[in-house]
A and B are shown apart, each in its own frame.
Chain A
């Protein structure tokens, strides 16, 4: 056992324990650590963005180097603050509209291609898709299961007709696939949370207490 003498390691370790103390019940140590985290994170973010975004890309070029075109994004950005003045608060729609216009324009074609067209192609029963599973002849079976799963799940979310007859059957199969999906997602969530616990324990047992390397 080789306990750390580094004060920063001690601060990190004690804050970790303060956060873990919530598992017992809500207490002042937990609330102190939580509030400090929020405060430090906000203070750091404001300082970072001021020095790394606003100063080098807007204020310095505009006010010191005289790049006057930057007055336009400066004004657009300032319009966000009109939200606090009821009489002119409608002006906030201008910067929101500019941002939305840019991102929607950039994202719609790319998202349709990547998330709809390519995904639909991946569902089609082709030799290429069979091989994509890296499962030999079983690739056909997995592809058929995927195909059935996608169609049945889509049919479950079709609400324009009552789920009776063929639609009733496919939607019941669809809900089975949905439940399996939820189960897989939950299993992965457990892995993720345990992994985070392991990470913290590695820190407490290693750099802080020196019990492990």
Chain B
């Protein structure tokens, strides 16, 4: 009884230190943790995998530095999948903060592929295999106007090239030439893609979201409005797994590396919640 009383009154800073140790140790001493791929991730993989050769994948990078641990590994795994299958990629950012992070992900995966490429055909080349359209004012404007003409809304790409001069953009005019839009976002942007791009133009939409907003987005998966969904670090690790298993694409799996820390931290939080509640009920009965 006294023990539970003491535990319920423990200084929060001690809890922080315990949590820090539990999260840090698995990062310093990594251990393999198996990743089971769940249906929403499998659905996402199949949606990307089934994009026909004449259509493109739009990857909407909308994460900011505070969402990077969850959403950046998703972006990297999706790009690995697309580049391996030679799916054309149009990258966009509907907000300004993610621009640099999108460039970072695109550069990393391009370098991974080009470092082992043996010919021009094997390489991932800007303008031929992917284009980064950058940012323009207004997410809703972008979604609606791209249904009519992508080049009209993005007259120049992120690097200042005229989009109508890029080989890829001569093939990809609007959503009719897009097989899937995938939105990596911590906000409501995936819902906007459904409301404005899917409803009006019929384009398929999938999403990569942060864990905190997962319960808000699951209904869109159940109704089929999302052709797959990746949730948080766990979803990113599952996508890394399915890409590596199915396509034999090797590369650093940052989300998978983090899973042991995530697991132990969860077990710790569960233990804290149980101890706190048992202590509360015991102390109430005692009174």
Interface residues of A (CB under 8 A from B): 23-24, 45, 48-49, 52-53, 57, 103, 106-107, 110-111, 113-115, 118-119, 121-122, 129, 132-134, 146, 181, 184-185, 188-202, 205, 211-213
Contact = CB atoms under 8 A, between A and B. Distances in A.
A73 B210 CA distance: 37
B211 A189 contact: yes
24 contacts: A52-B96, A113-B199, A114-B198, A129-B222, A184-B215, A188-B211, A188-B231, A189-B212, A191-B232, A191-B266, A192-B70, A194-B261, A194-B262, A194-B265, A195-B210, A195-B211, A196-B66, A196-B70, A198-B69, A198-B233, A199-B69, A202-B254, A205-B28, A212-B28
Interface centre among B13, B69, B219 (most CB of A within 10 A): B69
B204 to A, nearest CB: 14
Contacts of B258: 195, 198-199, 202
Given A185-B215, A192-B70, A201 B27 contact: yes
Interface of B: 13, 16, 19-20, 23-24, 27-28, 30, 39, 43, 66, 68-70, 96, 135, 137, 140, 144, 191, 194-196, 198-200, 210-215, 219, 222-225, 231-234, 252, 254, 258, 261-262, 265-266, 269
Contact of A114 (B24, B27, B194, B222): B194
Given A23-B13, A48-B96, A133-B222, 5 more contacts: A115-B195, A134-B43, A185-B212, A192-B70, A197-B265
Contacts of B16: 23
Interface centre among A45, A110, A194, A202 (most CB of B within 10 A): A194
A110 B199 contact: yes
A57 B224 CA distance: 38
Main secondary structure of the interface of A (DSSP, over half): helix
Contacts of B199: 110, 113-114
Nearest to A146: B222
A205 B261 CA distance: 14
The 3 closest A-B pairs by CB, nearest first: A199-B69, A122-B223, A192-B212
Given A106-B144, A115-B191, A198-B262, A134 B39 contact: yes
A185 B215 CA distance: 6
A110 B265 contact: no
Contacts of A200: 69
